[in-house]
Amino acid sequence: MKLNFKKISAIAASTLLAGMSVGLAAAANYPAPFVNSAGAADVAVVYGTGAGVSSLDLVQAGNIQTSLASSVKGGTTTIDGESFKFEKKSTNFHLGDNITGVVSSALDDDQLPTLLESGKYIDNDNDEIDYTQKIVI
């Protein structure tokens, strides 16, 4: 059996070129299908652990996660209806802070007039009872 190096190298080169064209076509749509058209991530990055697994798996998984995170669209949230901002001019309310350091009194219909409005309640005996709602902090 005679080894024909020219034929083998020509077949290997054509296989390599065909594989590269398929790979580049798949990479042209990146980050799809991992980030959907709304800009939300639809992916789980999984890497190996344990014996026999390279520590570079974690590094490359982090790189992939960072790359996909840069493709995710951020959004803004708008508040409809009533809201109350917990802050003073001198003190902002941050995660982990005690709320009494920022707001020390109760919230009532002055701050949230629709949610905490005052009114009258009529019970089964037709007795009218005035009520006031507030959130005590």
What is the sign, positive or negative, of the torsion defined by CA atoms of 96, 101, 102, 107? Answer: positive
Q: Percentage of residues in the chain with pLDDT exceeding 90?
A: 12
pLDDT grade, residue 37 (50/70/90)? confident
| Domains of the chain, residue spans | 5-69, 83-137
Select from 131, 137, 72 the least CA-distant residue to 98. Answer: 137
Residue 120 three-state SS: strand
How many CB atoms are located within 10 Å of the residue 124 CB?
Answer: 5
Coarse DSSP helix, strand, coil percentages of the chain, rounded to the nearest 5 percent: 30, 10, 60
pLDDT 10s digits, 39-48: 888 888 888 8
Q: Percentage of residues in the chain with pLDDT exceeding 70?
A: 98
pLDDT 10s digits, 16-33: 888 887 777 777 777 878
